[in-house]
Amino acid sequence: MRKILLFPLMFLAALISFSGSFNRGINADDKIEKRIDSVLVKMTLDEKIGQLIQIVGMDTAKEKLIRNEQIGSVLIGLRGRAECNRIQRIAVEETRLGIPLLFANDIIHGYHTIFPVPLAEASSWNPELVKESCRISAFESASEGTRWTYAPMVDIARDPRWGRIVEGSGEDPYLGSIFAAARVEGFQGNSLDEKASIAACPKHYVAYGGAEGGRDYNTVDISERTLREIYLPPFHAALQSGAASIMSAFNDLNGIPASANHFTLTEILRNEWNWDGVVISDYNAVGELIRHRFARDMKEAALRGFKAGVDIDMVGDSIDGNPYAPNLKNLVAEGKISEEDIDNSVRNVLRMKFRLGLFDNPYTDTLYFKGNNLSKNYKDSIALKLAEESIVLLKNENNLLPISRDIKRIALIGPFADDNSNPTGPWAGGYKQENVISVLEGLKKSVNSGILIDFVKGCNVDDSDYTGFDAAIKAARKADVVIFTAGESRWMSGEAESKTDLNIPSVQQELINRIQAAGKPIIVVLMNGRPLTINRISENIPAIIEAWYLGNQTGNAIARVIFGDYNPSGKLPVTFPRSTGQIPLYYYHKSTGRPFDKEDKYTSKYTDSPNTPLYPFGYGLSYTTFSYDPIAVSKNRIKKDESTKVFVKVKNTGKYAGQEVVQLYIRDDFASVTRPVEELKGFKKINLMPGETKQAEFEITPDMLSILDLNLEPVVEPGKFTIYIGSNSVDLISTSIEIVE
Ligand code: GLC
């Protein structure tokens, strides 16, 4: 019998400190509950089941279903305010009870203003700024009638073969939890019923990022310990920040599909976490229980999905025929589902609609959004700031960067240089190419007339056309410096884009090699949605900028970094492996009984590769340098319920002003279960002028030292802990503290 466990306390400290409140999502509002009762009591069984059905798109047949109160929500697409209001009028004014619809969309990193992809945003290590970008996305979405977004994606991913790694915040549960909370708070604002707030929907619950082989939709089979320590924390963080809904995943989880998994959907979500939001399945995931061979037919799929805890069947009518629509009523008639069970799910849906204020204000208020409009300058400034802070400087040999504006000629080469589409990445909302600043446009805007930008595409993204090589090499020969934009198209990562080969396409690599032979300094600007095995670039190219997909402000942000108007501060939220053979490779690995020892053959290693990554978690360079004084500790021996503080002075020892992400890692030196060699437990992003010193301070609380013991119960064990502080997960200084009985 599982004990009802409070979630591992180690994450709660971080969340309370960030979200400023605890359990906002579950303080049921009595007034709303009474209003739910007053609606529910009037509803027929058909009308109740209608609230649990979601359709995609719109046509006259679907409008008819709405008139017959058979639909509760719509994955509406970017049809805009007028169309949403028109459809809403059907639900509110042409039906018996006038229950408003929920309109949903995948607003992952922007509706009109496209921000960097989430993996890029996570590289900023600036949750407050990311929260601001989500607030803007919420405003734009709500102004167009969308009040529910299928975001944030909070899947922990430590396998870059999995294309959806681009949609999340990387490999670390702590960092992922911080960003999950930030995004939910940004989308939902101070109150869900604000007209510019939208309901968040952390996804894909749960462990979707653990797909075997990094192959999308593949089986996930993990221990409950891994589930609780790695994959659940960001979801718990999102719900603690008040997320109104959650999306169940496609994957099979330990033998039970995630969209029919009573343990995760009810025992954890409802009983352990006491959460009262809406569970919606991923796209036809209930119907796909048949393909899992977990259900014989649609009726059994409906029974298994509903009984496990899925409230709304997303778009079940789209592919295999709608599981819930005809079958739930029959299952009630056969006594396999009680009407009380139906009522409980319908309550969850009505609660979300009341919390959004839809019963009182079902229509998008045009005047409100006109009167409170966010200026384009403001939105662009946030998009630019976030794009700049998302850039990670991977290499800068001999300080090639930043380049001076005194140079005369830049050769700009590569398939993404004059590109207003790929820089928006997958899930780019309603982006418009005319709003996307390309690298070429950004560089041209950023230089005076004295510098010639000689653009030659040179090659496409991924084919065997070498016909552009000669012109590119010729341009390189005439230039003072070459900027080469390399990487993946926006469609090479994201959903259903898993790959076995993480090299950049060979045509790009070949052109880089030939340009390098021309002997001019090269800066490679990477645009990609996942870590790539860029060993040859890393070995041979003097300067490498990881730019991911930065959205509308791509060209401005990259130009400002290249010329030093912004000193890059990004840090990798995910490990870059040397080869796919190393995967999975992540920083918080276990010690093993035979940790690698170069003097001892019989230790954990590969014979054809180092164990170390190409670039480690938390890594990123700056145009300046920082020095760390030894760590000071207020008390190095504390009891289980006591805290202590660690301090470190950081100095900017270079000539550029810069931001340093001071990272705090903790190692439980010896414990009743094996623990990682280190775990991220805190970070502070500080601004330092040249020569300036600041002190970074971290409180070490018992919650941060808590682990799940043999029985998966949170416990703080006596013993020594190593405290690490540094600029990434490898370059660290350390000290020791001890928990005493
Ligand atoms: C997709 C994705 C999910 C998305 C949903 C609706 O298949 O898995 O992330 O929110 O369908 O578009």
Burial of 60 (0-12, 13-18, 19+ CB in 10 A): exposed
Instruction: Report the DSSP beta bridge partners of residue 664.
Output: 682, 725
Supply the CATH number for residue 421's domain. 3.40.50.1700
As a whole number of angstroms, the distance between CA 55 and CA 352 comes to 18
Q: Residue 648 corresponds to which tokens in the numbers above? A: 């470190």
| Residue 231 maps to a domain | yes
610, 157, 587, 667 alpha-carbon torsion, rounded to 10° = -150
Rounded Cα distance between 725 and 561, Å, is 27
Domain boundary among the residues 533, 550, 570 is at 570
The answer to whether residue 211 sits within a structural domain is yes
Verify that 348 and 386 share a domain, yes or no.
no
Q: Which atom of ligand 1 is nearest to the CA of 315?
A: 6
Rounded CA-CA distance 567/569 in Å is 6
Cross-strand partners of 659 = 687
Number of domains in the chain: 3
Say which DSSP state 8 is in: -
| Residue 648 CA, distance from chain mean position | 30
- Ligand 1, residue 204: give the atom nearest the CA: 9
Query: CB count, 10 Å around CB of 616?
Result: 18
Amino acid of residue 474: K
Predicted confidence at residue 448, as pLDDT, reads: 82
733 strand-pairing partners? 725
Helix (H) or strand (E) holding 441: helix 439-446
* Among 106, 276, 282, 313, the one annotated catalytic: 282
Shared domain for 423 and 494, answered yes or no, is: yes
Res 35: pLDDT:
97
In eight-state DSSP terms, residue 269 is I
Q: What is the pLDDT of residue 403?
A: 97
Tell whether 492 and 638 lie within a shared domain.
no
User: Do residues 304 and 439 share a domain?
Assistant: no
Residue 578 lies in a domain: no
Coil, strand or helix at 14: helix
If asked whether residues 326 and 414 sit together in one domain, one would say no
Cα 553 to ligand 1 centroid, rounded to whole Å: 26
pLDDT reported for residue 28: 60
Query: Are 349 and 399 in a shared domain?
Result: no
User: 680 and 559, same structural domain?
Assistant: no
What's the Rg (C-alpha) of the chain?
26
Please name the residue whose Cα sits nearest to atom 11 of ligand 1.
283
Residue 580 lies in a domain: no
> Are residues 345 and 391 both part of a single domain?
no
Q: Which amino acid is at 163?
A: G
Q: What's the rounded Cα separation, in Å, for the pair 741 and 732? A: 29
Residues 166 and 276 in one domain: yes
Q: For the range 29-33, what are the long-range contacts, defined as Cβ-Cβ under 8 Å and sequence gap of 24 or more?
A: 29/355, 32/351, 32/354, 32/355, 33/351
Domain stops at, among 311, 334, 363:
363
Residue at 611 is within a domain: no
Asked whether residue 343 falls in the same domain as residue 389, the answer is no
CA 346, 348, 349, 354 torsion: positive or negative? positive
* Domain shared by 330 and 444, yes or no: no
Sequence-ordered list of residues with C-beta below 8 angstroms from that of 381, at least 6 positions apart, any chain: none
Distance 582 CA to ligand 1 centre (A): 29
Nearby residues of 664 by Cβ (< 8 Å), 6 or more positions away: 646, 680, 681, 682, 683, 698, 723, 724, 725
Centre of ligand 1 to C-alpha 639, Å, is: 47
Residues with CB under 6 A from ligand 1: 75, 106, 150, 203, 282-283, 495
Domain membership of residue 617 (yes or no) is: no
Atom 12 of ligand 1: nearest residue by CA position: 106
Look up the CATH number of the domain holding residue 693: 2.60.40.10
Ligand 1: centre distance to CA 195 (Å)? 25
Residue 687 sits in which domain range?
626-740
Q: What is the pLDDT of residue 323?
A: 83
**CA 282 to centroid of ligand 1, rounded, Å:** 6
Give the pLDDT confidence score for residue 27 in this predicted structure: 52
3-state secondary structure 275-330: CCCEEEECCCCCHHHCCCCCCCCHHHHHHHHHHHCCCEEECCCCCCCCCHHHHHHH
- 150 CA closest ligand 1 atom index: 10
CA 52/CA 234 separation, integer angstroms: 26
Atom of ligand 1 nearest to the CA of 167: 9
Pocket mutation for ligand 1, best pick of 107, 150, 162, 198 (most atoms within 8 Å of C-beta): 150
Low-confidence ranges of the chain (pLDDT < 70): 1-28, 317-321
Does residue 591 fall inside a structural domain?
no
DSSP E strands: which ranges in 199-348? 245-248, 252-253, 256-257, 278-281, 313-314
Map tokens 């033998």 to a residue: 255
Active site residue 216: no
Q: What is the CATH number of the domain that holds 136?
A: 3.20.20.300
Ligand 1 atom with the shortest distance to the CA of 249: 8
Q: In angstroms, what is the span from residue 313 Cα to ligand 1's centroid?
A: 13
- The answer to whether residue 593 is domain-embedded is no
Nearest Cα residue to atom 8 of ligand 1 = 282
Residues 296 and 393 reside in one and the same domain? no
Atom 1, ligand 1: which residue's CA is nearest?
Answer: 283
- Residue whose entry in the numeric block shows the structure tokens 């998994």: 261
